[in-house]
Structure 1
Amino acid sequence: MSFTLAIVGRPNVGKSTLFNRLVGKKLALVDDQPGVTRDLREGEARLGDLRFTVIDTAGLEDANDDSLQGRMRRLTERAVDMADICLFMIDARAGVTPTDMIFAEILRKRSAHVILAANKGEGAAADAGVIEAWSLGLGEPIRLSAEHGEGLNDLYTQLMPLADEFAKRAESHAPEVEVDIDLDEEDEDEDNFDARPSLSISPNKPMQIAVVGRPNAGKSTLINKIIGEDRLLTGPEAGITRDAISLRTDWSGTPVRIFDTAGMRKKAKVQDKLEKLSVSDGLRAVKFAEVVVVLLDAAIPFEQQDLRIADLAEREGRAVVVAVNKWDIEDEKQQKLKDLKEAFERLLPQLRGAPLITVSAKTGRGLERLHDAILRAYDVWNRRVSTAQLNRWLAGMLEQHPPPAPQGKRIKLRYMTQAKTRPPGFVVMCSHPDKMPDSYSRYLVNGLREDFEMPGTPIRLTMRGQGDKNPYKGRKKSTPSRLRKHLKGRSAD
């Protein structure tokens, strides 16, 4: 990416709509009511032949206190400081407001490159607002319609010279990368080579982690502590996060992409349209994730909604880690931990053996244990077992507990193989697969967990019939035509 562009302006001027158009996806939530966006959202933007990073920000409001609006404004000002270029948007139909005048003055002082855009500029109703935008003293305004994609050519024209300038600057500051390599030199660590297959985690392909849970469990605070900066909006109010925000970072040497999601309440309580959009955005993040961290509040763990969220992650086939937050304010830690483990085993049998980690998002205690548990869960999620091992194991399981014989017909389990990983999926070839009871499938799944060290991860077990290899089975019996003619001739004689 050649440069970073931050889109700033008052609430409801169309910043998220333009962000979605530049990235080519509906990543940011969009609604008619103001103040939908609260966190900073980054995306890879394309405009003609330009490739750059674009940041969607919360609406600027005239608030400097510690209220939610004040905290949102400080986060947006931070984005202005981070960005190379600021695109200041106003509503052309509403015209220039006193708040626009205040923020235009702030941007002149804080940003070296400010581009002014008058959005919602389609039609004659916006003419007066576009002319009025000149009074902000930020040069000629671009007449935009983010909804309809109008004015993007003018935005490209203004960005092009700045992009060239940033590209030249980056080239002049590029480090020397040519290194002489002695091909005859032996690798001293050759004997220490780790023969285990390496997991496919790299800066180009980071591990995808989604943090989910009920409102006010501390998801944003936890992620801020992991990345080492106050990047996400936090506070005592429940339901602050609305968008599923993804952030890339290096967590203790592991490249990760962490999704912060909106708190998920019971479906019956979700009436507001915006909250429905937020929850569906969070559910989408679970589907894209590889590891799901279900964050509980230590004061009220394993409520019905927590169980539903954990069950959702298991049904989606994701590696699951359960983290109990706010552990720093817990008094009876030993007894509480014992009760938590007992409740976990009883209420979530489908995730038996999944890691249960106590953390404090506020102080950072327990984060290393959480990191290690996530790596272990990811490793198990990617585990592969050879067919020879599986069939030796299956023979032992059959000897220990043979399958039932419904209607007097014993089900024969012939052989077993692993069909997939992420999560581990196994296929058992057998007779009468439709008559196999669920209890016997659970017996095999639990055995796989224990004997091949796959605790907690979802395991998919499919019973499949081999079928009959006779190609004529099921065909209608018929006499060949030549034989029919021959027999017909003989009968005539």
Structure 2
Amino acid sequence: MSKPIVAIVGRPNVGKSTLFNALAGENISIVKDTPGVTRDRIYADVTWLNHSFTIIDTGGIEPESSDVILSQMREQALIAMDTADVIIFLTDVRQGLVDSDAKVADMLRRSSKPVVLAVNKVDHFERQMMDVYEFYNLGIGEPVPISAEGKQGLGDLLDQVAAHFEDSRSAEEGDEIPKVAIVGKPNVGKSSIINKLLGQNRVIVSDVAGTTRDAIDTTVRWNGKDYVFIDTAGLRRKSKVREELERYSIIRTVTAVERADVVIVVIDAVEGITEQDAKIAGIAHDRGKGIIVAINKWDAIEKNDKTVNEFSGKVRSILSFMPYAEILFVSAVTGQRLPKLFDTIDMVLENQTLRVATGVLNEILTEAVALQQPPSDKGKRLKIYYMTEVAVKPPTFVVFVNDKKLMHFSYLRYLENRIRESFGFRGTALKFIVRERREKEQ
């Protein structure tokens, strides 16, 4: 099931980034095994009690005047309303209630998305409660007093946020149709691919606005089977500032990827693969999704017998953190290899949910350890007791060892390669959790 998305909206200097960092804790470190993918501090994964969710910072505002503040706050609110399951509206007890707060609150109230009102910079809960109560006037429910800097009141805030998760998710429960997100930079041909798939299939398509979001989900029927395509292309905000547009497209991508089982990263063959493509692919990799890299506009390329290999080599080198990704060369214009897309989606879905019996897994482990000794440090050698698969989407393995610190990243990568040699797992990330077990527990 996809994780809920929580967006933070608020005026300049109310402490949005402080709150974001306080909630994200240390989760927002750059992911070590993904060269070329810097984690923008736009989104982070948060776990609260038994809830996991993704938090999004809708953006900073650099105001020149109050008009600019209001228009940019509206922009943030629109992004939040487009993408979030729950919105945290952050205000500031020291500045008090201001006009732009009220105007944005009106928008949020009309959006019918759940909104949690947080009043920040409350250092003395008892003494400042009368000032907090003033925010009842916004008409969006009970204000929750917090201090993002002092990390006070965050538990109450998260309780309020989490209370809305069940409602927003129930609509998506029980839906077994595979969900496929089509992501990529603007103008790489995401919509053209979907339109071509529809044209070929001749189905009547109902473009129903997503149940919990305003993204357009399109159902495509292929060989008697339905697939839901989540398109990130149709929703473009007009923005003069490139950074703002890029931030918006990353937020868009995160929310589409979160809901998907398989992600198709579309790359423009004419332009070639870029760092921004790697950043977008990295979002899907971070979230352990099935990944297909579709090189579009392949019909526009002059080819010889080496072209495919050379282009694949470049893609593999820039996306070196996800060697498992499937690569397809397609053309939305001619329809070349688009039918192959469905076969590949099916294969990746199967690999995402593949379960390996513990006995078989440990035979492979024993063989792998015999072929390449585990690392040692200061005379102490890593012992691997056993391994078991505990979850799917992505396939997740727990490895029990004598000392976690001895498990080098490179040895884990070696074990992953052995597992892939035996079972394929093409198109999906694998996740490994290393746990310590004392010898006497054996």
What is the aligned counterpart of 1:363 among 334, 339, 348?
334
Alignment of 1:108-257 (within 5 A): 204-228=175-199, 244-257=215-228
2:279 to 308, 317, 320: 308
Aligned length: 272
Deviation of 1:468 (Å): 6.3
Which residue is 2:418 aligned to?
447
For the residues of structure 2 that align with 1:407 and 1:148, how far apart are their CA atoms?
Answer: 62
Match in the other structure for 2:117: none
Q: What is the match of residue 366 of structure 2?
A: 395
Inter-CA distance 336–244: structure 2 relative to 1 (3 Å threshold)? farther
Cα distance, 1:312 vs structure 2? 1.6
Tell me the residue number matched to 1:270. 242
Q: Is the CA contact 1:221–1:232 (under 8 Å) kept in the aligned structure 2?
A: no
Say if 2:390 and 2:396, in contact at 8 Å, map to a contact too: yes
**1:372 aligns to what?**
343
When residues 368 and 426 of structure 1 are mapped into structure 2, their CA distance, relative to the original with a 3 A threshold, is same
Deviation at 1:414, TM superposition (A): 0.8
C-alpha deviation, 1:379, in angstroms:
0.9
Is the CA contact 2:362–2:386 (under 8 Å) kept in the aligned structure 1?
Answer: yes
CA distance in 1, matches of 2:276, 2:206: 24
User: Following superposition of structure 1 onto structure 2, how do residues 298-337 of structure 1 map, counting pairs within 5 Å?
Assistant: 298-332=269-303, 334-337=305-308
Q: CA deviation at 1:451?
A: 1.5
Q: Is the 8 A contact 1:244 1:281 kept in 2?
A: no
Aligned partners of 1:147, 1:423: CA distance in 2, in Å? 35
Contact 2:205 2:219 in 1 (8 A): no
Name the CA distance, whole Å, in 2 between partners of 1:333 and 1:357.
17
State the AA in 1 paired with 2:318: L
Distance 1:305 1:147, change over 3 A: closer
Change (3 A) 1:220 1:410: same
Conserved? CA contact 1:224–1:232, under 8 Å: no
SS of residue paired to 1:250: strand
Per the TM alignment, residue 270 of structure 1 is displaced from its structure 2 partner at its CA by 3.5
Offset of residue 226 of structure 1 = 1.2
Residues 389-424 of structure 1: CA deviation (Å, up to 9, x unaligned): 011110100000010111100111111111111111
Aligned-pair distance for 1:432? 0.6
Which structure exhibits the higher relative contact order, with contacts defined as CA atoms closer than 8 Å and separated by 6 or more residues? 2
| Counterpart Cα distance in 2 of 1:206 and 1:437 | 39
Matched, 1:457 2:420: no
Structure whose CA Rg is larger? 1
Runs of 5+ unmatched residues, structure 1: 1-28, 42-144, 151-202, 234-242, 471-493
The 5 Å alignment of 1:418-429 reads 418-429=389-400
In the alignment, which residue of structure 1 is the partner of 2:8? none
In structure 1, what residue type is equivalent to 2:218? L
3-state SS in 1 of match to 2:321: helix
Pair 1:295-2:260 in alignment: no
Question: Shift of the alpha carbon at 1:256?
Answer: 1.0
Counterpart amino acid of residue 450 in structure 1: E
The amino acid of 1:442's aligned partner reads: R
1:311 and 1:279 map into 2 onto residues whose CA distance is 11
**Percent pairwise identity:** 33
Distance between the aligned counterparts of 1:148 and 1:413, measured in 2? 55
- Partner SS state of residue 281, structure 2: helix
1:254 Cα shift?
2.4
- Tell me how far apart the structure 1 counterparts of residues 250 and 319 of structure 2 sit (CA, whole Å): 22
Do residues 413 (structure 1) and 384 (structure 2) align? yes
The TM-score normalised by the length of structure 2 is 0.55
1:270 is matched by which residue type in structure 2? Answer: R
For 1:271, the aligned partner's letter is E
The whole-number CA distance in structure 1 between the counterparts of 2:311 and 2:198 is 28
Task: Work out whether 1:259 is the aligned partner of 2:230.
Answer: yes
Measure, in 2, the Cα distance between the counterparts of 1:391 and 1:279.
40
320-329 or 460-469, which deviates more: 460-469
Question: TM-score, normalized by length of structure 1?
Answer: 0.50
Is the partner of 1:349 in helix, strand or coil? Answer: coil
Distance 1:232 1:363, change over 3 A: farther
Tell me the SS of whatever aligns to 1:350: coil
2: CA distance, partners of 1:377 / 1:367: 16
Matched AA of 2:242: V
**Alpha-carbon separation, structure 1, partners of 2:399 and 2:364:** 12
SS of residue in 1 equivalent to 2:306: helix
- Deviation string, structure 1 residues 32-63 (Cα, Å, up to 9, x no partner): 58xx99xxx9xxxxxxxxxxxxxxxxxxxxxx
Q: Distance in 2 between matches of 1:349 and 1:451?
A: 21
Range moving further from structure 2, 222-231 or 410-419: 222-231
Q: In 2, are the aligned partners of 1:352 and 1:455 still within 8 Å (CA)? A: no
Q: Is the 8 A contact 2:219 2:229 kept in 1?
A: yes
Gaps of 5+ in 2: 1-57, 59-70, 83-105, 112-173, 208-213
- In structure 2, the CA distance between the partners of 1:290 and 1:247, relative to structure 1 (3 Å rule), is same
